[in-house]
Amino acid sequence: MTSADRPGARALEDKAFLLLIAAVSLLFGWILWPFSGAILWGTVIAILFAPLQRRVVHAAGGRRTLAALAMLTIIVVIVILPLTLVAASLVDEAAGVYEKVRSREWNVGRYFQQIFDALPAWAASLLQRFRLTDLGAVQERLSAALMQGSQFLAGQVLSIGQSTFDFIVNLFVMLYLLFFLLRDGDALSRRIRDAIPLRAEHQHALVENFTAVIRATVKGNIVVAVVQGALGGLIFWLLGIHAALLWAVVMALLSLLPAVGAALVWFPVAIYLLATGAVWQGVVLIAYGVLVIGLVDNVLRPMLVGKDTRMPDYVVLVSTLGGLATFGVNGFVLGPVVAAMFIAAWNILSASSEGRPSDR
């Protein structure tokens, strides 16, 4: 028996090989990290359009390359192109808002003073109880906060302009990767499952949770966000509120958060309208926000998100906030996915310890 055949040597070789795999995997991830966003969204879009891709492959007579090219064209036309046009318009509108704040055309202190003067006696007394009657200090803090926010927004706009080349490169990487994921996604997923050292039922449970949460989170949250943002922007435009597109995008982004969402924008605006004498506009905005915008959140979100993820609303909210804080805009997908995988893994462990089949 040679030294390589001894059990101790074999175990040492196995450990060295596992260490090598971990090292090269980490190094590969480090190399790909600059394109992590492009890889993430390419994977997410491929998962979302996988059922349609299979139908297109069937319609194309099994020619997967032709089907992938057709799907890529459809995705560019219905997803990428509209988002690019909206982003361009948003940059222009955001720059205009920053200029109005910087030039003092928008005076936050004056708006706050108008609201305070219109408050009833009980509300003014409540503000006095909480020591919020020092309008000068409050106005100064509000103005400073808004100015800092506008400067940050302007910095982001400038960064977008300076990073146009990076954006184009990431977009190209995403579309290039998306083509191969659409064409070879089924075979690639089988290879990954074969390489993962888990039992088949555990793999099935984890993969099912992963795909279900991505589809529910992206499909559901984006649908809710787009609908709420569009409805909010429409009412702002009809009421003559400046920068309706900007507020629509802000409402769409905030609607990614369950329960609160778009109300963080339209409700303060409605209060301001009521306090400054635009009573019917304020009443219309409140009624529209509660009955129309709020109804979308209460009806569509449980149908599209909660049913598929099977996660409580508070878990979705906390994981979304944590994901956004940790990973930026990618976090609204990564946060719920990590939470769902955490719950699924512990459900599998619990089921295994009890000797029963694992479920989602």
Report pLDDT digits (tens) over 13-36.
778 888 888 899 899 889 988 888
Whether 265 contacts 250, CB under 8 Å:
yes
For 51-93, give the DSSP string: HHHHHHHHHTTT-HHHHHHHHHHHHIIIIIHHHHHHHHHHHHH
On whether both 291 and 163 belong to a single domain, the answer is no
The model's pTM is 0.67
Whether 181 contacts 46, CB under 8 Å:
yes
> Which residue type, as a one-letter code, is found at position 13?
E
On whether both 302 and 332 belong to a single domain, the answer is yes
What tokens appear for 59 in the block?
Answer: 């319609």
Q: In the listed set 157, 175, 195, which residue is the last one of a domain according to the structure?
A: 195
> Which residue type, as a one-letter code, is found at position 241?
I
If you average pLDDT over each of 114-128, 174-188, 300-314, which comes out highest?
Answer: 174-188
On whether both 223 and 348 belong to a single domain, the answer is yes
For 305, half-sphere exposure in the C-beta direction (CA atoms, 13 angstrom radius) is 32
CA 140 to chain centre: 33
On whether both 265 and 130 belong to a single domain, the answer is no
Whether 341 contacts 206, CB under 8 Å:
yes
Query: CA-to-CA distance for 51 and 47, rounded, in angstroms?
Result: 8
Please state, rounded to an integer, the average pLDDT across all residues of the chain.
75
As a whole number, mean pLDDT of residues 183-208 equals: 77
On whether both 324 and 252 belong to a single domain, the answer is yes
User: Residue 3: inside a domain, yes or no?
Assistant: no
Q: In the listed set 165, 195, 225, which residue is the last one of a domain according to the structure?
A: 195
Q: In the listed set 180, 195, 210, which residue is the last one of a domain according to the structure?
A: 195
What tokens appear for 339 in the block?
Answer: 């939470």
Q: How many domains does the chain have?
A: 2
The residue with greater pLDDT, 339 or 217, is 339
Predicted local confidence at residue 115, as pLDDT: 60
Q: Is the pLDDT of residue 301 over 60?
A: yes
On whether both 67 and 157 belong to a single domain, the answer is yes
On whether both 268 and 344 belong to a single domain, the answer is yes
Predicted local confidence at residue 141, as pLDDT: 59
Query: CA-to-CA distance for 52 and 360, rounded, in angstroms?
Result: 24
On whether both 178 and 213 belong to a single domain, the answer is no
As a whole number, mean pLDDT of residues 108-130 equals: 60
Domain that holds residue 137: 34-195
Q: Is the pLDDT of residue 103 over 80?
A: no
On whether both 100 and 245 belong to a single domain, the answer is no
Which residues make Cβ contacts (< 8 Å) with residue 148, sequence separation at least 6? none
Residue-wise burial string across 240-260, b where 16 or more C-beta atoms lie within 10 A, e elsewhere = ebebbbbbbbbbbbbbbbbee
Predicted local confidence at residue 354, as pLDDT: 64
What DSSP character marks residue 277? T
User: Residue 279: inside a domain, yes or no?
Assistant: yes
What DSSP character marks residue 196? S
Which residues make Cβ contacts (< 8 Å) with residue 243, sequence separation at least 6? 93, 96, 97
Predicted local confidence at residue 152, as pLDDT: 54
* Among candidate residues 233, 202, 153, the one with its CA nearest the CA of residue 344: 202
Name the residue with tokens 């995988």.
341
pLDDT band at 179 (very low <50, low <70, confident <90, very high): very high
Name the residue with tokens 């184009």.
168
On whether both 125 and 220 belong to a single domain, the answer is no
On whether both 224 and 354 belong to a single domain, the answer is yes
**Listed range (67-81, 164-178, 187-201, 342-356) with the worst mean pLDDT:** 342-356
User: Residue 21: inside a domain, yes or no?
Assistant: no
pLDDT band at 69 (very low <50, low <70, confident <90, very high): very high
Q: Is the pLDDT of residue 230 over 60?
A: yes
Whether 43 contacts 181, CB under 8 Å:
yes
User: Residue 24: inside a domain, yes or no?
Assistant: no
On whether both 185 and 249 belong to a single domain, the answer is no
User: Residue 71: inside a domain, yes or no?
Assistant: yes
pLDDT band at 148 (very low <50, low <70, confident <90, very high): low
User: Residue 20: inside a domain, yes or no?
Assistant: no
Query: CA-to-CA distance for 153 and 94, rounded, in angstroms?
Result: 7
User: Residue 150: inside a domain, yes or no?
Assistant: yes
